[in-house]
Amino acid sequence: MIETEVYKDLEEIQWEIDRKYEEFSKKDFECKLDHHKMIKPLLIRRDQAIAKMDSGSYWGRVLDRYEIGEMILPRDSSNLINTGWMRSLSVDYLDGYAYRVEMEVNENEFVANKTLMKKAYLLEGDVERSGVRWKGNRKCPVFEFFDTDTVDLDIFDILYEVYVNSASYFLRST
């Protein structure tokens, strides 16, 4: 009998922990959305500056210097990290507890797509995505992100970091 009461108590405690975490997650997202809205004009200005140069070399240089991103980037046939495939990147927090990632890619050995997109609605768990047209069997997390129906916040966070702070990575000396 005592064991049954303990199980019931544990279930109630865990339910309350989950509820508190959901409240925290909403507040966390709202703070990130507010910050994103504050810096959005600067991101637009930065993206306009990038458009005046060879954006492929910009994003390749950014990815080369973003060490955390190494774990999600594709590797070429020699197992070296390949960064020349990205033409542009746009990552946004959206109202309604959602995010969007859009990526334009150059001709490459990994995917046939020219554009990749994923929009996720976090509360509902719904995902809109472009999908990936694979060229071969070598897959990597950055492309798989656009091919899954899951929210994938870990990959989103990495892409958001590289997008928002790309100028810092670009300007960093090697």
**Residue-number span of the structural domain to which 102 is assigned:** 2-171
Number of domains in the chain: 1
- The pLDDT of residue 44 is 97
CATH of the domain at 38: 3.30.1120.90
For 154, the enclosing helix (H) or strand (E) is helix 153-164
What amino acid occupies position 94?
A: L
Residue ranges in the chain modelled with pLDDT below 50? none
What is the per-residue pLDDT across 60-100, written as a single tens digit (0 to 9) for each?
A: 889 888 888 777 887 777 777 778 889 999 999 999 999 99
Give the global pTM.
0.88
8 Å CB contact between 134 and 67? no
Q: What is the pLDDT of residue 81?
A: 77
Rounded Cα gap, residues 18 and 31, in angstroms? 20
Amino acid 56: pLDDT: 66
Q: Which two tokens stand for residue 102?
A: 């859009």
